Amino acid sequence: MKNKIITSFKTLFFVGLLLLFFSFFLDWYSYQIYDSTGLVVSWNYNLFDDWSTPLSNTSEYSFNLTMRPENGLIPITITILLISTIIVSAYHVVFESIDEKTSLGIKNLIFAYMNGFLLILNLCYLVVFPVMYLQPQNLHFPLVFIEDYTDGLTYMYAFGAGYVLQLISFVLIFPYSVFYFKTIRTFGQEKKIPDRIISKIIQDNQEPLDLDRYIAEEQLKHN
């Protein structure tokens, strides 16, 4: 039963890594404005391309350009670092099985902390992007429609597929990451217990060294 649960956690973890990987190549946010004639403003946010628009060759291009949001705040280097971590984690979870090991080494400890780093950075993306970037620009989320009857405009704000996949991946990779880290900690504590017991036994049974007695015994031996 336990092995089935661990296998399920690993499967979810691997699927979560795949979704997390593909999320970086999809749009994270979409912002559009419609008037009576149709779409007049459209901007999509991607972590690599920043803001892009499909309306570059239309008559509304100048108005569309004035409505462009500010550039993104997430450095591309952090995104590349996270993608690299995803690839290494995927390799490790496929070719290394912690539940079949009788001993765990430094490589397993590194992988445990790597999973923790992956979770924390994933959560930072989920929180920082909407709170620190979208909200200050009055870009609403997760899915909002606003009717401006005065100007005859309809505003549409929505998270893109990239952000949704990022959210799903966090839920999927969380169980195995926690299980792996907990296993490493438990194994480390159990490994230290025998050493502590042995040290205590030696300490409890160690007799104090009596130099006078030792010298007297040596003299008797030679006499």
CA-to-CA dists, residue 184 to 13, 86, 101, 193, angstroms: 17, 20, 11, 15
Residue that wins the pLDDT comparison between 118 and 194: 118
What is the tens place of the pLDDT at every residue in 205-215?
555 545 566 56
**Statement: residue 30 has pLDDT above 70:** yes
Q: What is the pLDDT of residues 39-87, one digit of tens each?
A: 999 999 999 888 999 887 666 678 888 889 988 778 888 899 999 999 9
Does residue 126 contact residue 167 with C-beta atoms inside 8 Å?
A: yes
**Beta-carbon neighbour count of residue 165 at 10 Å?**
21
Q: For residue 61, which phi and psi values (nearest 5 degrees)?
A: -60, -45
Partners of 162 in the β-ladder: none
Residue 29 pLDDT grade (very low, low, confident, very high; cuts 50, 70, 90): very high
For the segment 134-192, what is each residue's pLDDT rounded down to a tens digit? 999 999 999 999 999 888 999 999 999 999 999 999 999 999 988 888 887 776 555 54
Number of domains in the chain: 1
- Residue 193's pLDDT is 44
Range of the domain at 142: 2-222
With beta carbons less than 8 A apart as the criterion, state whether 201 and 67 touch. Answer: no
**Cα-based distances in Å from 59 to 64, 75, 110:** 9, 33, 55
pLDDT of residue 44: 95
Residue pair 156/145 in contact by the 8 Å Cβ criterion: yes
Q: Which pLDDT belongs to residue 41?
A: 92
State how far the Cα of 29 lies from the Cα of 156, in Å rounded to an integer: 11
pTM of the model: 0.76
The residues, any chain, with a CB within 8 Å of residue 107's CB and separated by 6 or more, are 96
Please list, residue by residue across 100-116, b when 16 or more beta carbons sit within 10 angstroms of its beta carbon and e when fewer do: eeeebeeebeebbebbe
Instruction: Return d(Cα 149, Cα 145) in angstroms, integer.
Output: 13
